[in-house]
Amino acid sequence: MRTNNPALNERVYEQAGHVTGAGAMTVNGTVLKTGFLTLLLVAAGAWSWNQITGNTAPAWFGPALKFGWILPLLTALAIGFIPRTAPWLSPVYAVTKGVILGIISAYFENLYNGIVFTSVLLTLGVLFAILGAYLTGVLRATPMFRKIVIGATLGVALFYLAAWGLSLFGIQIPGLFGNGLVGIGFSLFVVVLAAMNLVMDFDFIEQGAAAQAPKYMEWYGAFGLLVTLVWLYIEILRLLAKLRGRD
């Protein structure tokens, strides 16, 4: 696999085949579709954010926070197994994920005023910094780089899944989710890990364009990049919350 994303792995291009001319995947086309999906995500997030009246949130916010990730996950898995569905299902992912992201953002903003705006700026800053480093050759998705990042990402994913399962029974993992030095260090590590995944996402998109993958793979690549950007934003939000919580 080139990346931890379930969508972005080199076998997908082999299965999709190759085309020529206007029917082939391009980097510019993928960028445009990433922008479109991002707009859908932001619009959905703004809608759920605006459901709050004063300091009162709707009753469905609680269940949505606990189980709302399931629908985007199922959509992502469907796209991963059937890439041709990406043009139709990736907007569904963007909207459903955006609703949950709006709730999460509103929760943190209520605790720490201005934290969401700062997190958005930092996410964009990291995105363009990593993109610049990739285009100039400072960061490349070498085989060793992939092994390290993929292994670490899978480990973090399993840890988060276990933490969620334990939380359903009222069991919380101390330390790593707190605002102590250990918790802040863990969040910083995950932020760096998410940023490194961007390198492999860029590489996947570039390789797909070079291989002349079918046009629908632009949606597929855009979806995978959006997944990483959402993860990066959430981890930055958590890190800033821990830092603000120490004040």
Give the tens place of pLDDT for each residue, 96-127. 999 999 999 999 998 999 999 999 999 999 99
Q: Count of CB atoms within 10 A of residue 32's CB?
A: 13
**Residues 197, 33: Cα–Cα separation, whole Å:** 19
Burial degree of 163 (CB within 10 A; 0-12, 13-18, 19+): middle
Whole-number pLDDT of residue 77: 92
Average pLDDT for the chain: 87
Whole-number pLDDT of residue 56: 79
Whole-number pLDDT of residue 108: 93
The closest alpha carbon to 87, from 31, 44, 37, belongs to: 37
108-133 burial, b if ≥16 CB within 10 A, otherwise e? bbeebeebbeebeebbeebbeebeeb
Residue 21's pLDDT band (boundaries 50, 70, 90)?
low
- Which alpha helices (H) appear in 50-139, and where do they start and end? 61-67, 70-81, 86-111, 115-135
Res. 232: pLDDT tops 90: yes
Which tokens hold the place of 89?
Answer: 């299902």
Whole-number pLDDT of residue 175: 72
49-63, 132-146, 225-239 — which one is most confidently predicted on average?
225-239
Which tokens hold the place of 167?
Answer: 């939380």
Res. 187: pLDDT tops 90: yes
Residue 6's pLDDT band (boundaries 50, 70, 90)?
very low
CA angle 76, 222, 9 (to 5 degrees): 65
Whole-number pLDDT of residue 129: 96
pLDDT greater at residue 218 or residue 212: 218
Res. 19: pLDDT tops 70: no
Model pTM score: 0.87
3-state secondary structure of 173: coil
Whole-number pLDDT of residue 15: 56
Helix (H) or strand (E) holding 219: helix 217-245
Residue 1's pLDDT band (boundaries 50, 70, 90)?
very low
Least confident of 9-23, 141-155, 172-186: 9-23
Residue 191's pLDDT band (boundaries 50, 70, 90)?
very high
Res. 50: pLDDT tops 70: yes
**Residues 98, 44: Cα–Cα separation, whole Å:** 5
Res. 13: pLDDT tops 70: no
pLDDT greater at residue 167 or residue 124: 124
Percentage of the chain with pLDDT > 70?
A: 90
Percentage of the chain with pLDDT > 90?
A: 61
